């Protein structure tokens, strides 16, 4: 369940780390903006070593509503207490010991491993976190436990066209995101053919599918999401031998 408290803290609601005490082989960037990138994990191919670096920054403070009154809170730290969903042979590790992140800190995490043919499919990840905050007088307010289930691993059998032809086809970030009515999907394509967009929930179940006429060059395709229940979704976007995934949140 995505709680409003964590959404206020992280804007995107996306933090994926592990309780592994080993430090990740990554270096945090200096992004001054609170949040996380990328918003979607890259595709995993069978028998090819995989590594995905995730960059993040924890905010220094936040505002929550307490009995209708806005309350300013300082973010002391966030601890990743566990995770589920990674296939065997994969691990997650932060660049800081025990995945304890301080307010205002830039950090990074690495997901790594090698998939087998038995792992092919969608693997939703669920991460358990506890956030510690204090009021402006220094009094600790909590320990707020929560779980985050936004990221997923898409494991596929490698095909040459998917890997070697990406200069001919690419998909950009969905915008606006979140959205309540129309989502724009930027596509660059140098090949003809219909574009198929499958809407998946985070168990990998298809809840809708749309087929659109494509144009050669750069174009934005509009997807009507007004009939979808609120929540987080994956978009599987396919054209010819190419495919890509993007995440999307539906709000009202």
Q: What is the reported pTM?
A: 0.61
Read off the CATH number of the domain in which 180 is found. 2.60.40.1930
Domain membership of residue 170 as a residue range: 166-250
The terminus-to-terminus CA distance of the chain in angstroms comes to 17
Of 123, 156, 189, the domain-final residue? 156
Average confidence score pLDDT of the chain: 78
Of 156, 179, 206, the domain-final residue? 156
Same domain, 205 and 119: no
pLDDT in tens, 151-176: 888 888 775 444 434 567 888 888 88
Same domain, 132 and 197: no
Note whether residue 161 is domain-resident: no
Place of tokens 């539906």: 250
Same domain, 142 and 180: no
What is the per-residue pLDDT for 22? 54
Interacting residues of 211 by C-beta distance below 8 A, sequence separation 6+: 194, 195, 196, 197
**Other Cβ atoms closer than 10 A to 165:** 15
What is the per-residue pLDDT for 23? 62
Read off the CATH number of the domain in which 116 is found. 2.60.40.10
pLDDT in tens, 187-213: 888 887 889 999 988 777 889 999 988
**Other Cβ atoms closer than 10 A to 79:** 17
In sequence order, what E strands does the chain have?
Answer: 35-37, 44-45, 50-57, 61-66, 69-84, 91-94, 100-102, 106-113, 121-124, 126-135, 140-148, 152-156, 169-171, 182-189, 195-200, 206-212, 217-224, 231-239, 242-250
Residue 62 has pLDDT above 90, yes or no: no
Same domain, 38 and 75: yes
Q: Across-strand partners of 124? A: 152
Alpha helix stretches (DSSP H) within the chain: 4-10, 160-164
């Amino acid at each position: 369940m995505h709680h409003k408290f964590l959404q206020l803290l992280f804007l995107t609601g996306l933090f994926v780390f592990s309780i592994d005490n080993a430090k990740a082989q990554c270096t945090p960037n200096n992004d001054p903006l609170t949040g996380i990138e990328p918003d979607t994990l890259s595709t995993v191919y069978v028998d090819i070593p995989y590594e995905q670096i995730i960059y993040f920054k924890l905010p220094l403070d936040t505002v929550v509503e307490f009995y209708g009154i806005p309350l300013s809170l300082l973010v002391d730290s966030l601890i990743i207490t566990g995770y589920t969903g990674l296939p065997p042979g994969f691990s997650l590790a932060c660049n800081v010991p025990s995945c304890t992140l301080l307010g205002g800190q830039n950090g990074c995490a690495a997901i790594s491993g090698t998939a087998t043919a038995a792992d092919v499919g969608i693997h939703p990840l669920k991460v358990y976190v506890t956030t510690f905050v204090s009021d402006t007088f220094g009094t600790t307010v909590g320990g707020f436990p929560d779980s985050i289930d936004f990221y997923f691993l898409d494991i596929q059998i490698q095909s040459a066209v998917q890997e070697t032809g990406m200069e001919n086809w690419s998909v950009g970030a969905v915008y606006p995101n979140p959205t309540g009515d129309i989502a724009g999907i930027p596509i660059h394509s140098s090949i003809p053919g219909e574009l198929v967009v499958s809407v998946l929930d985070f168990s990998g179940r298809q809840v809708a599918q749309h087929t659109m006429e494509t144009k050669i060059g750069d174009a934005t395709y509009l997807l009507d999401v007004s009939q979808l229940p609120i929540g987080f979704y994956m978009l599987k976007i396919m054209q010819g031998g190419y495919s890509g995934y993007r995440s999307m949140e539906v709000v009202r």
